[in-house]
Chains A and B, each alone.
Chain A
Amino acid sequence: MENAQESLRQVFQQEFTRMVAVISRRFGLQHIELAEDIVGETFLLAAETWGVRGLPANPTAWLYTVAKQKAIYQFRRRKLLDDKVIPGLMAQHTQDDEWDTLSFSAHSIRDSQLQMLFAICNPLIADEAQIGLALRILCGFGIYEIAEAFLTNKETINKRLFRAKEKLRAAGVTMDLPADSELVRRLDTVLRVIYLLFNEGYYSSTQNQSLQKDVCLEAMRLGVMLTDYEQINSPKTNALLALMCFHASRFEARHGGAKSLPLLYEQQNDTLWDTALIRQGFAYLDRAMQGNDLSTYHLEARIASWHCIRDDTPEKWTAILSLYNQLVLLNKSPSAALNQVYALYKVAGQAAALAAAKQLRLDNSHLYFTLLGELYRETDPAQATASFQRAYSLAKTQTDRQTIQQKLDGMA
């Protein structure tokens, strides 16, 4: 019974996104909401029919047949209305065989989903809205689950998605792939959204661990989708995939604790690390290293690859420090700077790291004061405690506060 529920859930998640992408591509992205309704109705009918009569021999084929009938019916009807309302404008009558070009072949599904990915990862709409749309339209999550991942309510998510679709419509965004000349630039946005999506899952404040994992896996699936196409199967794409594989390999170990708090790296049981994913990560990293491209994903992937080796060797931390030094040059984000200081601590010791940390002025960051606390821990317990307390007062989530409280408890 549990299994049956789970497989129905998976059928929905996978086929919802496929059918919405195919129908939207055939009839235009401006009709995406109608496409969602058609697919939703198809599933409502599936729930009733499968519930009463049992699962058909081929559920996917059943869904495609019904969705196609419904889509053709809806759009033909809509066209009839348009013809009546705006006579002449669409005088030419649509032949039945023209509707038949709506196809749910594997090829059509693949192309439609890729085009949908590029349409949604669009700088026209805000990051949060891109991630929200990606979660719904590309990954098939329910509005409630998306709200849970963002720690907000359904209404907020619905409004956000509605406005995002309006923007896409108003800007006349279509589902055609960008021209070759633009493809590389647009790919950057797509990769960024996939990485944000992955982080949304990995660092999400929700306590729902299966949801977190699902979001991460979906982000990885979208990344793998890109590798099917020669032009966008670039070193950067592979670097991002490597990075996600390395992080995801620690998923089980990270949540191995009895408490809801994710386990920190040092606390993890490394026998729970997923070695298959680590190997996969190295395979992607190999492909990423072909060519001269050096992106932040390359550097972060190589840092993450070192973290797949548990032992603290001088070689490991020297390599990590050098990678952070390069990363900071490419993108001086607060987290890169803080990690650079930590690597320096591992390589050159407490005094050098403390001097570097004092150069950073991240007075609003709980991570900064957590790091200061760590650096003071051995030499100045009073300063360490004060730093952890400052970090506690700056922390924004319950999870962060709990983690810092553990450190404070350790000082007592």
Chain B
Amino acid sequence: MSEFMLLFRQPSFDTGQMSPAEFAAIASRWQAWVGGIEAGGNLVSRGTRLATEGKVVRADGLITDGPFVEVKERLGSFVLVRADSLDEATALAHGCPAISAGGSVEVRPLLV
């Protein structure tokens, strides 16, 4: 068994349009997805939330505020899972609500 990090990115979309029902539905899809991983005994950690603000340091020494604004996809948080192989870990990413929202999930093995 190895551990993997699933990093999700959500596309920036017209969030000003969100409705009460959509909010509740999106939250329950996330809950169902993580709940499924946990039920299969694959969940290691529910990760931690990233703050909105941050700095980016570039090669030329330029430091800018918040990296996420110019990027189409916003880096969300992550969860840690355990799986026998990268393929199995990748399979766990299926059903992640970030994907159905048009975003992506990056699956990275953790090396000890």
A residues neighboring B (CB under 8 Å):
1, 4-6, 8-10, 12-13, 16, 33, 36-37, 39-41, 43-54, 66, 69-70, 73, 77, 140-145, 158
Contacts and interface: CB of A to CB of B under 8 A. Distances in A.
Contacts of B76: 45, 48
Contact of B17 (A49, A140, A143): A143
Q: Which 7 A-B pairs have the closest CB atoms?
A: A142-B19, A51-B30, A40-B15, A36-B16, A47-B26, A8-B24, A47-B27
Nearest to A41: B15
A284 to B, nearest CB: 28
A51 B28 contact: yes
Given A66-B52, A77-B65, A40 B28 contact: no
A73 B18 contact: no
B40 to A, nearest CB: 16
B46 A13 contact: no
Contacts of A52: 30-31, 34, 46-47, 77, 79
Nearest to A13: B20
Interface string B9-27: 0100011111111111111
A50 B20 contact: no
B18 A51 contact: no
B102 interface: no
B16 A37 contact: yes
10 contacts: A37-B16, A40-B15, A40-B18, A43-B18, A44-B18, A46-B27, A51-B26, A54-B46, A69-B52, A77-B66
A47 B23 contact: yes
B69 interface: yes
A48 B30 contact: yes
B53 interface: yes
Given A36-B16, A66-B52, A142 B10 contact: no
Given A52-B79, A66-B52, A69-B51, A40 B17 contact: yes
Contact of B49 (A6, A47, A49, A54): A49
A141 B19 contact: yes
A43 B79 contact: no
B19 A144 contact: yes
A73 B46 CA distance: 26
Contact of A8 (B15, B23, B33, B79): B23
Contacts of A39: 16
A48 B10 contact: yes
A141 B18 CA distance: 9
Interface residues of B, number: 36
A143 B19 contact: yes
Contacts of B98: 48
A23 to B, nearest CB: 12
B94 interface: no
A140 to B, nearest CB: 6
B22 to A, nearest CB: 7
A48 B97 CA distance: 9
B24 A12 contact: yes
B15 A51 contact: no
Nearest to B51: A69
A45 B106 CA distance: 18
B72 interface: no
B29 interface: yes
B15 A5 contact: no
Nearest to A7: B24
A96 to B, nearest CB: 12
A13 B28 CA distance: 17
Contact of B77 (A5, A13, A48): A48
Contact of B15 (A43, A73, A140): A43
Contacts of A1: 28
Contacts of A158: 17
B23 to A, nearest CB: 4
Contacts of A6: 24
B46 A53 contact: yes
Contacts of B14: 37, 40
A144 B21 CA distance: 10
B52 A73 contact: yes
A169 B42 CA distance: 52
Contacts of A47: 23, 26-27, 30
Nearest to A66: B52
B53 A5 contact: no
Contacts of B24: 5-6, 8-9, 12
Contacts of A41: 15
Contacts of B10: 44, 48
A33 B16 CA distance: 7
Contacts of A143: 17, 19
Given A10-B20, A145-B21, 18 more contacts: A5-B28, A6-B24, A12-B19, A39-B16, A40-B16, A40-B18, A43-B23, A44-B18, A46-B27, A47-B27, A47-B30, A48-B77, A52-B30, A53-B46, A66-B52, A69-B51, A73-B53, A140-B20
